[in-house]
Structure 1
Amino acid sequence: MIVIPMAGRSQRFYDAGYAVPKFMLDLNGKSVFAHAVESFRTLFDQTAFLFILPPGEEAAAFVRAECQALGLKEVTLVTLDRPTAGQAETVELGLDSVAAPDATPLTIFNIDTFRPGFTLPDGLESAEGWLEVFRGTGANWSYVRPGPGPEPLVVETAEKRPISDLCCTGLYHFARADRFRQALAAERAAPQAAELYVAPIYNHLIGSGAQIAYRLIERQEVIFCGTPAEYEDLQTRTHKGG
């Protein structure tokens, strides 16, 4: 199951003068939503999609129309009636709403990130979870600290705290929904950040002996559209033919 939490308020976009949530904005003739979801085009026929939405019928109607236009085969929408304590809780509420079985594999992805040509990685099937990363710097990312050996294994994750040069793209995989739920319950009992982010909860799985892996991609393979500046830069590059 691909889970896309999109219940945030898009406050930075509203503050910048935009009148609709960022996922509804047009970018090169397609919505930001469509650009993000098309990352998984190769999985449209074989994977269920769960979209977790903010209150109101407008967002739900928009997403239904976009999913139909894109040709997704199995789509479930969950509309929340309140703000959440963070992305991890948003995902939890969505899973609970659809009674997702414990054995359901979860791939969590941001609605403001694009991964053109995404394919599932080979060689990570034995891991209980994995994160996608690129090499970068800055205090605004989630981070992975790799193990000392040649295998792409994670020994620690952190939110907005650079513990290596491996920055998360916002794509998180859990082999089973019950392991996600267990990790989130442990995070609530011993929080590592002000919000319930997804990346830090892997530490609870790692601490229990779980094997968590990472997939390293090149920085140019991922496109971010989470701030007005990033969105406007993409518009400018598109208009220039870049």
Structure 2
Amino acid sequence: MKEIKHMANNILLPIAGRGQRFVEDGYETPKPLIKTNGKYLIERSLESLDLTQSNLIFVVRKEHIDSHGIDEILNLKYGNDIKIIPIDYVTEGTLCTCLLAEEFINNKDSLTIFTPDCYFEPKFYYPKETTSSGRFLWNRDKQAFDALVATFYSEAPAHSYVRLNTNNVVQEAREKEVISNHAIGGLYYFKSGFDFVSYAKVMIEKNIRVNNEFYIAPIFNLMISEQFKVTIDKNTRHDILGTPEDIEKHEL
């Protein structure tokens, strides 16, 4: 086992959704810029991750640049080296939105995809060690893996879920279907960006959709079928910030 020092971990944040629940509740501010306890939702969510030695890549709605200057706000908060990809259409799902960053993530660097409408603890620190087989070694429990997903306890059908074996190795992932009490907490980590991009394209070729959308979670089923090892990181705290009601609870 030896430590590997990456130049960077790529953190991809797909925030180009419509935020329909907020729109329906009369919010004019884009969802990522809604304030909770004095902080932008995107800002509060990103406090869940270690951002050092990482490239931040945001996929945003062009109208949010034009109407609220979200690009300037992100630059002010996270520096001018971040990548901002504006789009003026709704994609066929989060997976497709992530692939719009292919030029930045289709490489051997590790990739963290975070859908930032939650805050969780403990903070996520991306792994830096590998085993002799080339798999990453997870910092917390020394589990060797190729990909990882953050989880929290839930049995609500609105979430995605993973089913585990006794060693906390993922056996199956399902979108919007309760197959365990291990709900996916919005963070997906891949040892290599190459892996995500290649299997995401296979998902699209095979037309693997849920409710007519391409989600991220089913990608793990393809990887597992080809002997990739996927593990979990259990959140001890997980605050959902996806709806107006969630924001109100968080501010109590």
Per the shorter chain, which TM-score range? 0.7 to 0.9
Q: Does 1:132 align with 2:150?
A: yes
Out of 84, 89, 93, the position equivalent to 1:82 is 89
CA contact (8 A) 2:145 2:230 kept: yes
Aligned-residue RMSD, C-alpha: 2.0
Whether contact under 8 Å (2:48, 2:120) holds in the other structure is: yes
Deviation by residue 1:7-29 (Cα, 9 ceiling, x = unmatched): 00111111111111111112222
1:111 aligns with 2:116: yes
User: Any conservation in 2 of the 1:124–1:130 contact (CA below 8 Å)?
Assistant: no
Q: For the residues of structure 2 that align with 1:90 and 1:162, how far apart are their CA atoms?
A: 25
Residue 167 (structure 1) aligns with: 183
Query: What amino acid sits opposite 2:215 in the alignment?
Result: Y
Task: Quickly say closer, same or farther: Cα 1:86–1:209, change in 2 above 3 A.
Answer: same
* Cα contact 1:38–1:116 (8 A) shared by 2: no
1:191 correspondence with 2:196: no
Q: Choose from 2, 17, 20 the match for 1:8.
A: 17
Contact 2:94/2:215, CA 8 A, preserved across alignment: yes
Unaligned runs of 5+ in 1: 238-242
Q: Are positions 1:32 and 2:41 aligned together?
A: yes
Question: Which residue pairs with 1:145 in the alignment?
Answer: 163
After TM superposition, the score normalised by the length of structure 1 is 0.86
Moved over 6 A (4+): none
Specify which structure has the higher proportion of helix: 1
Supply the distance in 2 between the matched residues of 1:202 and 1:164 (Cα, whole angstroms).
Answer: 16
Provide the secondary structure at the position in 2 that maps to 1:111: coil
Letter of the structure 2 residue corresponding to residue 207 of structure 1:
S
The offset of 1:175, in angstroms, is 1.1
Larger mean CA deviation between 136-145 and 22-31 belongs to: 22-31
Residues 1:209 and 2:192 are matched in the alignment: no
> What is the CA–CA distance in structure 1 between the aligned matches of 2:142 and 2:213, rounded to whole Å?
28
**In 2 relative to 1, CA 101–197 (structure 1 residues): closer, same or farther, beyond 3 Å?**
closer
Which residue does 1:240 correspond to in 2?
A: none
- Between 71-80 and 198-207, report the one with greater CA deviation: 71-80
Residues 1:108 and 1:27: Cα distance change in structure 2 (over 3 Å): same
Judging changes above 3 Å, is the alpha-carbon distance between structure 1 residues 217 and 143 closer, same or farther for their aligned structure 2 residues? Answer: same
Report the Cα distance in structure 2 between the residues aligned to 1:26 and 1:222, rounded to whole angstroms: 18
Contact in 1 for aligned 2:120/2:235 (Cα 8 Å): no
How far apart, CA to CA, are the structure 2 residues paired with 1:94 and 1:50?
8
The superposition leaves residues 176-228 of structure 1 with CA deviations (integer Å, 9 ceiling, x where unpaired) of 1121122212212141412111111110001111111112222xx12111011
Letter in 2 for 1:146: L
Judging by fraction of residues, say which structure has more strand: 2
Q: Distance in 1 between matches of 2:83 and 2:143?
A: 26
Counterpart of 1:37, as a letter, is L
Q: TM-score, normalised by structure 2?
A: 0.83
Contact 2:61–2:88 (Cα < 8 Å) also in 1: yes
Does the Cα contact within 8 Å between 2:29 and 2:68 map onto a contact in 1?
Answer: no
- Aligned AA for 1:158? R
Distance 1:3 1:59, change over 3 A: farther
* Whole-Å separation in 2 of the counterparts to 1:5 and 1:198: 11
CA distance 1:176–1:118, shift in 2 (3 Å): same
Contact 1:53–1:59 (Cα < 8 Å) also in 2? no
Q: Distance in 1 between matches of 2:232 and 2:67?
A: 33
CA distance in 2, matches of 1:2, 1:185: 19
1:91–1:170 CA distance, 2 compared to 1 (3 A): same
